[in-house]
Structure 1
Amino acid sequence: MHIPDNYLSPATCGIMFAVAAPVVGVSIKRVKVQLKERRELAPMLGIASSLSFLMMMFNVPVPGGTTAHAVGGTLLAILIGPEAACLAVTVAVILQAFLFGDGGILSLGANIFNMAGVMPFAGYWIYNFFRKHHHATIGALVGSYAGINLAALAAAFELGIQPLVAHSASGQPLYNPYPLVVTIPAMMFAHLAVAGWIEAFFTYVVYKFVKQVAPQEIYLNDADNNAVASPKLIKYFYYIIVALLVLTPLGLLASGTAFGEWSNSELLANLKADHLANNLPHGMSHGLDYSAALSHYTVPGTTLPIGYILSAITAIIIFIIIGKVLTYVYGKENK
């Protein structure tokens, strides 16, 4: 679901930045208010970004030779609220793009809107509907499954309209060459059949755990004061992060690249194999070529599994530092 650079036209990228900006802006404004009221939210923001980042590292195989992964957007919205979840996933997506080359720089607006906007807000709305009707666990399952699939549908639409909105005078696509009749079935099959269930599984396990050890600390948007993450619960989340960190190399077992996330060479090979084209679309072959420091979660001089773990550790440290800084800043303001 991480759309790389040069798959979307500059106009589409600009529009998606304009669409994502107010979602993130409103979330920042509301989370600032929440932080002033509940300092406990600050460390949870770092923990939430870590959880989402780690979940996205667990690639699972999809029939047809591609892969998919969970995101955790709805889970985080249930735990800390959709606005805070939006910011946590946004930070994770930005770090993935700039440090690890996972998702494009120019397409950040689209990726943020899909994974940090559509998923937590839509997923939480569905969960909250069921919760109000006394079926919170069903809501967590349905909301997480629907949230990631709605996000995938948004990405499929953004990719699929490219041949319509950006093409040469002769009608040749300049960016993503696959139309909606290809992108929607491909993206939705991967997420309806595989990724949605992985997302629901992660959400169910963590949600039931929190319900058991600290049910009063689950976010409720109709409560005046939401207690967020006692020190005991934060400690448990650190245990979960360490466990996921140790298991991250399992994400390397799934071979193949997710649909719409191919490198130029992979895409060209696919186009030739399908007898669609012998050359890349012009906009893709002459677009932005950003080289991330730890591209594809590799660390020079290490094996791929070690590099994968070190990349995860690096990201977690950054997220935890952000949480510590916010705790310090809002702790001083609240005194």
Structure 2
Amino acid sequence: MHIPDNYLSPASCALLAVAAAPAIGLSIAKVKVQLKENKELAPMLGVAASLSFLLMMFNVPVPGGTTAHAVGGALLAILIGPYAASLALSVALILQAFLFGDGGILALGANIFNMAVAMPFIGYGIYSWFRKHHHESLGVIVGSYVAINAAALLTGIELGLQPLIASEAGQPLYNPYGLEVTIPAMMAAHLVVAGWVEAFFTYVIYRFVKQVAPAELYTPSSKNTTSFVKKIRWVLLGLIVLSPLGLLADGTAFGEWSSEELGSLLKGKVPAGIKNGFSFEALFSDYTIPGTKIAIGYILSAITAVLIFYIISKMIRSINGAKTSHA
């Protein structure tokens, strides 16, 4: 679901970045208020970003020989609220793009719109409706399943529109597959496999939190505590240790091929925008660490990301604490 660079036209990238901006801006404003009321939200933001990042490392095989993964959009919204979840997911996506080459730099706005805006708000909205009608567990499952499929549908539409809006002499400049291919491909992968993986992870982690700290699942009046953060970190440790399991799935996710992979699929007819477009070489591309075995590199990448999120959360907590003291 991570759209790479050059699969969307520059105009599409700009439009989707503009579309995501108001939601992210509102989330920043809301979270600033929440941090003033509860500084313990800061470490939870780091935990949430880590949780989503680690879930996205677990690739699973899907029909057609490609792969997909969970995202955790609804899960984070259930744990810390949709606004904080939107920010945590955005930070995770930014780190993935710049440090690990997972998702494009120019396409970052599109990926944030699909996974950090649509997913948490749709998932939380569905979960809240079921919770009000006393079916909270069902809301967790339905909300997470629908949320990731909504993001997949958006991705399929964005990719599939490219041949219609960006072509030259009748040839697509960017993603070469139309809506009749992209939507079925994205939806088959997520309706049949990835949606259920998302629902499974969401429900299992939700049940864990329900057992260890039931009062701290997000409500507008709830407050996360240090104890809660410490308990959820055991989940992160388990995901780090198990992260190499994501390497067992062969193949590349639909629409995330390199120029060379796409060339082999199209018998060398790579669209000009992809072939000659923007190129960015991430330091730890594909979660590999130079000089290490791929499984070890995967674990080290996971640890690196979690440490970065931890440092960011400590900085946020420190800044917020200083502002509170000054006030």
Q: TM-score interval w.r.t. the shorter chain?
A: over 0.9
Counterparts of 2:135 and 2:323 in 1: how far apart (Å)? Answer: 38
- The code of the aligned residue for 1:208 comes to R
What's the secondary structure of 1:60's corresponding residue? strand
Counterparts of 1:71 and 1:65 in 2: how far apart (Å)? Answer: 20
1:192 to 2:191 alignment? yes
Counterparts of 1:227 and 1:100 in 2: how far apart (Å)? Answer: 33
Deviations 1:209-228 (A, max 9, x none): 1112211111113xxx3111
Q: Which runs of 5+ in 2 are unaligned?
A: none
State the partner residue of 2:230: 235
Counterparts of 1:9 and 1:63 in 2: how far apart (Å)? Answer: 28
Corresponding pairs, count? 325
CA drift of 1:330 comes to 1.5
State which of 259, 268, 285 in structure 1 corresponds to 2:275.
285
Deviations 1:305-335 (A, max 9, x none): 1111111111110000111111112223333
State the partner residue of 2:117: 117
State the partner residue of 1:97: 97
- For residues 143-222 of structure 1, the aligned pairs below 5 Å read 143-168=143-168, 170-221=169-220
Counterparts of 1:135 and 1:294 in 2: how far apart (Å)? Answer: 43
1:315 to 2:315 alignment? no
Counterparts of 1:328 and 1:175 in 2: how far apart (Å)? Answer: 44
* Further displaced range: 295-304 or 321-330: 321-330
CA drift of 1:190 comes to 0.4
**TM-score (norm. length: structure 1):** 0.96
Identity of aligned residues (%): 65
State the partner residue of 2:134: 134
Counterparts of 1:260 and 1:26 in 2: how far apart (Å)? Answer: 30
Task: Indicate if the aligned counterparts of 2:212 and 2:231 stay in contact, CA closer than 8 A.
Answer: no
What's the secondary structure of 2:67's corresponding residue? strand
Counterparts of 2:248 and 2:74 in 1: how far apart (Å)? Answer: 26
- The code of the aligned residue for 2:170 comes to G
Counterparts of 1:127 and 1:25 in 2: how far apart (Å)? Answer: 23
State the partner residue of 2:20: 20
1:248 to 2:247 alignment? no
Counterparts of 1:281 and 1:210 in 2: how far apart (Å)? Answer: 47
Counterparts of 2:279 and 2:223 in 1: how far apart (Å)? Answer: 45
Q: Which runs of 5+ in 1 are unaligned?
A: 273-277
State the partner residue of 2:222: 226
- The code of the aligned residue for 2:200 comes to F
Deviations 1:15-34 (A, max 9, x none): 01110111111100100000
- The code of the aligned residue for 2:222 comes to N
State the partner residue of 2:290: 300
Deviations 1:200-241 (A, max 9, x none): 0011011111112211111113xxx3111x222211111111
State the partner residue of 1:275: none
Task: Indicate if the aligned counterparts of 2:243 and 2:298 stay in contact, CA closer than 8 A.
Answer: yes
Counterparts of 1:134 and 1:38 in 2: how far apart (Å)? Answer: 28
CA drift of 1:177 comes to 0.2
1:46 to 2:41 alignment? no
